[in-house]
Structure 1
Amino acid sequence: MIQVTAYRNKGNLYAFEMSGHAESVSEGYDLVCAGASAVSFGAVNAVIKLCSIEPEITQAGKEGGYLKVKLPDHLDVETHQKAAFLLEGMMVSLETIVRDYGQYIMISDK
């Protein structure tokens, strides 16, 4: 199962962590895993390009299965809002995947 944790401070998204594998079908054909990966990496790439920042990114393992992204601590308000808005869009897309494939992916907030 893919587990996504959204980290918030006073309701504002500042980081997320994704771990696990959906294992809904055999490796290489798993649309849940591919969808979650595409949504998360697309959002991170958008943050980097559109906000001109480098978030703290941690990935583990050759076979994937772990991604943690944290916005830098000392961003100006406008840049932080823009980056958080992009990540919130990612969360909406992930929630859509959960709605249809909740047995393979779950989201929680901290």
Structure 2
Amino acid sequence: MIEITVTRNKSEMIQSFAISGHAFFAERGNDIVCAGVSAVSVGAINAVHSLTGVTPEIEQESGLLRCIIPEHLPDHTQEKVQLLLEGMVVSLQTIEEQYGQHIKITFKK
């Protein structure tokens, strides 16, 4: 199962997210759940960097992706970053609705 943890601060802004595990929906190379989660999460990170100039701290290894947003961003930049990350969360929740036995999203503060 893919486990996703989205960590929010006291203001409900996304500080970080971590994605670990494997969906085991299908064989490697044909797993649409893994492919969808990877495309959405990596796409969000790339969008944050490309559209806001913010470079998140990234840790990536087999079966793990961790992304930490820098603290103390200017308000207008933080708003853009948050919009992109909230879009990612909506997309991941859509995948979870359809393939819930293969993906679980948890929110923590």
TM-score, shorter chain, exceeding 0.5: yes
Give the whole-Å Cα distance in 2 for the aligned partners of 1:65 and 1:18.
8
Q: What TM-score, normalized to structure 2?
A: 0.95
**Corresponding residue of 2:98:** 100
Question: Which segments of 5 or more consecutive residues in structure 1 lack a partner in the other structure?
Answer: none
| Alignment RMSD (CA, Å) | 0.7
| Percent of residue pairs identical | 50
SS of match in other structure, 1:83: helix
Moved more, 65-74 or 30-39: 65-74
Residue type at the aligned position of 2:103: I
What is the TM-score with the length of structure 1 in the denominator?
Answer: 0.94
Aligned residues: 107
Aligned-residue offset at 1:98: 0.3
Amino acid at match of 2:5: T
Note the C-alpha offset of 1:74: 2.2
Structure 2, unpaired ranges of 5+: none
CA contact (8 A) 1:22 1:104 kept: yes
**SS at 1:78 equivalent:** helix
Q: Deviations over 1:78-107 (max 9, x none)?
A: 111110110110000000000000000000
